A and B are shown apart, each in its own frame.
Chain A
Amino acid sequence: MLRVLLLTLSVVAIVHAELCKPDAQNAFKVRLSIKTALGDNAYAWDANEEYLFKAMVAFAMRRYSSKSTTQISNVLVCNVTDRVSFWFVVTDSSKNLTTVPESEVEAAIRMNRNRINNAFLLSDQTLQFLKITSTLSPPVEPSTPIWLIVFGVVLCLIVAGILFLVVAGIQQRKKKNKDSTERENLEEKSEVTVTVENGIPCETLDLKAGHINGVFAADDERFTSL
């Protein structure tokens, strides 16, 4: 009796070793970075965590194929290292000594990746299935790029400023023209006494700068030619 038991156990062990080994057919390597992810709250990787992992993979396979035939015992885990990395395969319960094709396992894991990650409090980067590339979530893009909005605001302000200054300049010039024609008319009629000093009305002397005397202004013929 004991001998039969021993024989069965050794056969199971051999089968296990045959099916689950590094780079075996349909086997996947898993790598966990628990300390990186959780820091002080990191848990140790022990047999219980392994059991949970097997349960999650079995759950994923059940959900994917909805056959409800995959048992926890169908998931074989081997070569656990200190890194915390190991290999696993999923055996087919209906056929003996065969493993489920890796495409099926990959699809099942992908479908339930989120649930598996959450069970271990990890993420896609810290719980890595080395052959299964995760689909990265694209950043949220608003319909109008933000920079265009800020650009539009600044552009409107600048254009408003320019228009304001141009219009103010035109108005100022019109007023100056009107004032000078008015003063000419007044001087002709001599009705209003405009205080005059040396022929220059006093108001214009408010300017900060003096008037450039045309006789001495720089022009081409600065030096009298010989």
Chain B
Amino acid sequence: MEKSRPLWDNSLQFIFACISYAVGLGNVWRFPYLCQMYGGGGFLIPYFIMLIAEGMPLLYLELAVGQRMRQGSIGAWKIISPYLCGVGIASVVVSFFLSMYYNVINAWAFWYLFHSFQDPLPWATCPLNTNHTGYEEECEKTSSTQYFWYRQTLNISPSLETSGSIQWEQALCLTLAWLVVYLCILRGTESTGKLEQLSNPKTWISAATQIFFSLGLGFGSLIAYASYNDASNNCERHAIIVSLINSTTSIFASVVTFSIYGFKATFNYESCINKVILLLMNAFDLEEGSLTADNLNEMKDYLMATHPQEYAQLSPQVKNCSLEAELDTAVQGTGLAFIVYSEAIKNMEVPQLYSVLYFIMLLMLGIGSMLGNTAAILTPLTDSRVIAARFPKEVISGAVCFINCVIGLIFTTEAGNYWFDIFNDYAATLSLLLIVLVETIAVCYIYGIRRFEKDLHTMIGHKPNWYWKIMWAFASPLLIISLFLFYLTDYILTGTLQYQAWDATQGQLVTKDYPGYARAVIGLLVAASTMCIPLGALVTFVRKRLKRSVSTMA
């Protein structure tokens, strides 16, 4: 007799698991950035259109497949057609790449969280130099928050080639992050029910991409979660709920992020003005209080007229402070989460409280997404009888966590952040588009949309209406194909790939080219997952041929 499949206690647990997986760091650090770059509120229009055309249908599709086939990604696609086992494997490979580097973000969040229990916050002031006469040189050139991120957290090397050594503090935090993930997945689905990734072209493409990756399609996590559903679960309603909550969270996070931007911009603008005032007062020995923010411009003109030579000497240091320039510095990704937010927090009242709350929030988001990723890897492994029969669940989970942790130590080296950027930009982007495209075509045209309709009818009780069918059969595949083509041409046209390296002597980021072996790694990342699909089909074909020839010979 087959071992029965574990189930979610109730549908609410399933919804929360999906939401916790879909709502991740991308909602906090990617969506507000896109809104700012592409016209603020106007971005919501293409975003919602793409949500309806692409996001909800594909989410529903994945949930339905998982719930119907009651298997992880590999098993589910094998059932649809044996030639499609490569799709499931590709999903697992992509999830594996993602889990390798994604948990490093949680490690950083832990690091900042542990450092939040100090007064003053360590990123609020620059450290002193060796003979205590002033502040560290690197910190003077840039700001204290950037110094804390680049020097004291990452200890970043000047380029990708200089690898440096493993930072033991980051390695400890990474180990802790993996232990937390292991603790959560140890009990399987029973324990995960509680409460990522992107890129950039033009507005519509950004919206399409944002929806696509924000929902976490193609990793196999949604299939894995849905496979633990009761067969009569209403996954149509859940798909709509999860995608709407994901979008609402993005918008809510944008509101918060914009207020943080505004606070930081105002604060920096006022500091800039005060610095200019002090400089002019000291240089021209003016009375204190004679120069204020209001009369600064008139006074500058007056000083330029009365003391032209001294003013000319001073003018390179006198900055033109502009609030618009401060507001326009939009940042996304780790820069937003760890530099901009921590800079804003250090200037608040009781910064320790806000810092702790903020980093706990980042951890919740990050670990929620990690659980989905590890579920995508573990479910096919535990489904496969070969492995599951020999090893208990705890050992398989432990092995996966351990292997990922060891590989993840690469990202704790001095050049680790550069490798992180490589994985973040290339491990999942193209491959996912291809995987989801193959998934949609497989369900609509290979499995057959009528058969899928009938399955849904038995599961939910009613057939999907024409909107879902049109989206699955035409709209979503067309959108994905156009996204895919756009990305491909973009990568080919931009020629050499470049990255931002931190220059300690200047105290800012500089652009450098990727060395040859880094480009090879990028190619390998994309190829490793995409090649699984044709290879899987080929291997199945060859196997069938062999079996047939063996049986005919016998």
Centre residue among A33, A84, A134, A209 by max chain B CB count within 10 A: A209
Q: Which residue of A lies closest to B228 (CB)?
A: A209
Q: Does B324 contact A (CB under 8 A)?
A: no
Centre residue among A85, A151, A207 by max chain B CB count within 10 A: A151
**Chain A residues with Cβ under 8 A from B128's Cβ?**
136, 138
Q: Which residue of B lies closest to A82 (CB)?
A: B287
Judge whether A151 and B114 touch: CB under 8 Å: yes
Q: Which residue of B lies closest to A33 (CB)?
A: B288
Judge whether B82 and A220 touch: CB under 8 Å: yes
Judge whether A83 and B286 touch: CB under 8 Å: yes
Q: How far is the CA of A135 from the CA of B230 in the complex (A)?
A: 70
Judge whether A83 and B288 touch: CB under 8 Å: yes
| Given contact pairs A169-B394, A218-B69, A147 touches B111 in the complex (Cβ within 8 A) | yes
Q: Which residue of A lies closest to B547 (CB)?
A: A225
Q: Does A189 contact B (CB under 8 A)?
A: no
Q: Does B512 contact A (CB under 8 A)?
A: no
Judge whether B2 and A209 touch: CB under 8 Å: no
Residue from the list B4, B114, B547 in contact with A150, Cβ < 8 A: B114
Q: How far is the CA of A209 from the CA of B173 in the complex (A)?
A: 39
Q: Does A4 contact B (CB under 8 A)?
A: no
The A interface is mostly helix, strand or loop, or mixed, namely loop
**Which B78-96 residues sit within 8 Å CB-CB of chain A?**
78-79, 82
Q: Does A5 contact B (CB under 8 A)?
A: no
**Which B256-286 residues sit within 8 Å CB-CB of chain A?**
281-282, 285-286
Judge whether B288 and A214 touch: CB under 8 Å: no
**Chain B residues with Cβ under 8 A from A48's Cβ?**
none
Q: Does A2 contact B (CB under 8 A)?
A: no
Q: Does B479 contact A (CB under 8 A)?
A: no
**Chain B residues with Cβ under 8 A from A162's Cβ?**
179, 182-183, 186
Per-residue CB contact flags for chain B residues 64-104 toward chain A (1 = under 8 Å, else 0) read 00000101000100110010000000000000000000000
Judge whether A166 and B286 touch: CB under 8 Å: no
**Which A129-149 residues sit within 8 Å CB-CB of chain B?**
133-139, 146-148
**Chain A residues with Cβ under 8 A from B117's Cβ?**
146-147, 150
Q: Tell me which of A65-73, A98-106, A152-160 binds B.
A: A152-160
Q: Does B442 contact A (CB under 8 A)?
A: no
Residue from the list B111, B183, B287, B290 in contact with A165, Cβ < 8 A: B183
**Chain B residues with Cβ under 8 A from A175's Cβ?**
none
Q: How far is the CB of B207 from chain A (nearest CB, A)?
A: 38
Q: How far is the CB of B108 from chain A (nearest CB, A)?
A: 13
Q: Which residue of A lies closest to B395 (CB)?
A: A166
Q: Does A34 contact B (CB under 8 A)?
A: yes
Judge whether A82 and B7 touch: CB under 8 Å: no
| Contact-size category for A | 35 or more
| Given contact pairs A146-B117, A222-B82, A158 touches B2 in the complex (Cβ within 8 A) | no
Q: Does B39 contact A (CB under 8 A)?
A: no
Q: How far is the CA of A150 from the CA of B352 in the complex (A)?
A: 14
Judge whether B4 and A210 touch: CB under 8 Å: yes
Number of B interface residues in the complex (CB < 8 A)? 50
Residue from the list B135, B180, B187, B282 in contact with A158, Cβ < 8 A: B180
Q: How far is the CA of A161 from the CA of B183 in the complex (A)?
A: 7
Q: Does B505 contact A (CB under 8 A)?
A: no
Judge whether A225 and B183 touch: CB under 8 Å: no
Judge whether B179 and A155 touch: CB under 8 Å: yes
Q: How far is the CA of A169 from the CA of B183 in the complex (A)?
A: 13
Per-residue CB contact flags for chain A residues 201-220 toward chain B (1 = under 8 Å, else 0) read 00000011111111001101
Q: How far is the CB of B313 from chain A (nearest CB, A)?
A: 16
**Which A13-42 residues sit within 8 Å CB-CB of chain B?**
31, 33-36
Judge whether A211 and B187 touch: CB under 8 Å: no
Q: How far is the CB of B113 from chain A (nearest CB, A)?
A: 8
**Which A67-92 residues sit within 8 Å CB-CB of chain B?**
81-85
Q: Does B390 contact A (CB under 8 A)?
A: no
Judge whether A173 and B285 touch: CB under 8 Å: no
Q: How far is the CB of B106 from chain A (nearest CB, A)?
A: 12
Q: How far is the CA of A212 from the CA of B231 in the complex (A)?
A: 12
**Chain A residues with Cβ under 8 A from B111's Cβ?**
147
Residue from the list B4, B287, B547 in contact with A209, Cβ < 8 A: B4
Q: How far is the CB of B152 from chain A (nearest CB, A)?
A: 11
Q: How far is the CB of A31 from chain B (nearest CB, A)?
A: 7
**Which B92-147 residues sit within 8 Å CB-CB of chain A?**
110-111, 113-115, 117-118, 120, 125, 127-128, 132-135
**Chain A residues with Cβ under 8 A from B125's Cβ?**
139
Q: Does B548 contact A (CB under 8 A)?
A: yes
Judge whether B285 and A158 touch: CB under 8 Å: no
Residue from the list B1, B173, B282, B286 in contact with A214, Cβ < 8 A: B1
Judge whether B7 and A209 touch: CB under 8 Å: yes
Judge whether B289 and A135 touch: CB under 8 Å: no
Q: How far is the CA of A212 from the CA of B173 in the complex (A)?
A: 42
| Given contact pairs A162-B182, A166-B186, A218-B78, A212 touches B2 in the complex (Cβ within 8 A) | yes
Residue from the list A33, A155, A211 in contact with B2, Cβ < 8 A: A211
Additional pairs, 14, CB under 8 Å, beyond known A82-B287, A222-B82 = A36-B288, A82-B285, A83-B281, A83-B285, A136-B132, A147-B114, A154-B114, A158-B179, A161-B183, A208-B7, A209-B4, A218-B71, A218-B75, A222-B79
For the complex of A and B, 5 pairs with smallest distance between CB atoms: A82-B287, A81-B285, A147-B114, A212-B2, A209-B4
Listed by A's residue number, 23 A-B pairs whose Cβ atoms lie within 8 Å are: A31-B282, A33-B288, A82-B286, A85-B285, A133-B133, A136-B132, A137-B132, A138-B128, A146-B115, A150-B113, A150-B114, A158-B180, A161-B183, A162-B183, A169-B187, A169-B394, A208-B230, A211-B1, A213-B2, A214-B2, A218-B71, A220-B82, A225-B547
